[in-house]
Copies of this chain bind each other. A is one copy, B any other.
Amino acid sequence: MEYTAEVRIELKSGVLDAEGETVGKSLKLLGFPVKGVKSVKVYDIVIDAVSEEDAKKKAENAAKKLLANPVIQNYFIHVKKI
Contacts and interface: CB of A to CB of B under 8 A. Distances in A.
Interface of A: 2, 8, 20, 23-24, 26-27, 30, 32-49, 58, 61-62, 65-67
B47 A39 contact: no
26 contacts: A2-B35, A23-B43, A23-B66, A27-B66, A30-B62, A30-B65, A32-B47, A32-B58, A32-B61, A33-B48, A33-B49, A34-B45, A34-B47, A35-B47, A35-B48, A36-B45, A37-B43, A37-B45, A38-B43, A38-B45, A39-B41, A39-B43, A40-B41, A40-B44, A41-B42, A42-B42
B20 A46 contact: no
Given A23-B66, A67-B23, A34 B46 contact: yes
